[in-house]
Structure 1
Amino acid sequence: MIHDFYIDSVNFKEFNDWKQEKENGLNGKKKNEFQQKSEDKKYEEWLEEIFKIPLAQKKKEILNKLKEDKNIDDFCPKHEELQNLPQNSVLIKIFFTLKRPYTSKDEGEFHIIDGRIFENPIVRDKFTGLPMVRPSTWKGHLRFAADKVEWNDENEKKKIIRWLFGSEPGDVDALKGRLYFFPTFFKDEEGKDVITPLDRKTRTPVKDKAPISIEVMKPGKSGEFYLLYVPYPKGKDFKENEIEEDLKFLAKALDLMFYTYGFSAKKTSGFGVIERLEENEIEVCPRDRKDIFSILYTKQNKTVKDGA
């Protein structure tokens, strides 16, 4: 277990010794309250104080050091690398700012905020320790948005989705998609938010369910999104205009994902939506493909000089 990795740093104290020391250090009402607690409750407090919090603090120190030592640019594709890819490949890079919070569920065991164990930590990269959006997360949310795209020919739409994202699980003919996704790392500090469980029908708070604290990237935090399009496999009836159609469809799907549906858990609550992009916040290589994605950004008026 992950506990074993950090266990050497624990200042171990036997439960009975801790209990006696705790009781001796309390007075009056607090001492009486502690004595009235069940053994299970005391054991739970001992476990948190002696193991969980110290280990979580140790892990956070290690992760913070990793943040300083690692260059996340090593994980991202470069424009110059396109020359090694098949003809008509397109690389899209977007600098985005969150309009609504972003969250995701991590499997980590030791996360603390304000000195307390936090049960709903955000996903972090194991190598850098940074909050992140996994490539598979990007793919899943963009695939969801692609289904919502309005397209003239529904059969053509299904065909494009299959070419872009690949075959679905269980399909007889396996097909690798034309899109390649990359991780997004958040360099800013994470925060916390509280959500209230709502009844799906009445949309009112669920009785006897307390508000849930979750770790989030707050609005205003920024990240970089990378997406690579490689027009392979081509298929038997491939035509060059397929590339143009693929990219136009992709632009519409990106528009829906970023501005309407979001790319976060809790997206039905509006999580994971970004601020409107400016023209200089999106790069497309080769440049002559950028206009296809113009629905994503506000074009700059180059005929008006600064200060005019």
Structure 2
Amino acid sequence: MRVLIAGSSGFIGSALTTELRGAGHEVRTLVRRQPGNVGGDTEYAWDPPRGALSSEALDGVDAVVNLCGAPLTGRWSEARKQQLRDSRIVPTEVLAEAVAEHGVPSLINASAVGYYGDTGDTLVDESAGAGSGFLAELCADWEQATRQAQRAGARVVRLRTGIVLGSDGGLLRVLKPLFSLALGGRLGAGEQYMPWISLTDQIAAIRYAVEHAEVSGPANLSAPNPVTNAEFTRALGRAVHRPAPWVVPSFALRMALSEAADEMALVSQRAVPAALRSAGFSFTHTELDAALVDELAGSRG
């Protein structure tokens, strides 16, 4: 297959590019600089704010994978919120229009489990509706930005991703040094559920969505067994062979992160991957302890 990827330089995008090329697919990437010659004529320039995208990039493409989006970390000022929206919705609208115009069969588009808002200890699959709050509204609008491709008849997959665990990026890159020094601890009461997925399964699931037409619509990219923050804390402590005795109080998180604390660090989302399992996808890591050991060791399955 010929696959075009936007957001290929990030933590997930770079691993996906390597995976797809290793599987024999032709991979093209969109870059916001002068295209280079590395790997042949595979890079194409684009400028989402201007709506600029070379038509040659879409020639003969079987699937577009869009992973664009600024990191959600840090305090959410009004300016930062607008940046988070623009970095997701604008590129998605540009790509959805291009997919529709060029008759590309599939658009695999990033989203997040933040779509559901705070669900407490209730299990939620893809049939659940959107929650409330900035992040839930952002995810809903992000997914809605794919509508032009869907109206044109393209298969649209909306990847509602949980916390991706990999040694080279994401949450583990931040937490591993702290936990290795026995400075790790739970966040608040630790009762909030964390929908996690190993990088190995994240990449395998996106590849599966590219290759299998039976995957369509929203798909939770999270392991079948979400855990609470307290359980996650203990498991990461075991993985690095250190105690994790500390507690970061909820009020301290709110002072540091403002509303991002309640929508990121303290939110509870017990999301499960019903759509992927129904489509026949098998997880390598269904239990957190094994996932942490493999990913921290740099294993890709």
Tell me which interval the TM-score lies in, with the shorter structure as reference length: under 0.3
* Larger Rg, first or second structure (1 or 2): 1
| TM norm structure 1 | 0.22
Higher relative contact order (CA 8 A, sep 6+): 1
| TM norm structure 2 | 0.23
Q: Which has the higher strand share?
A: 2
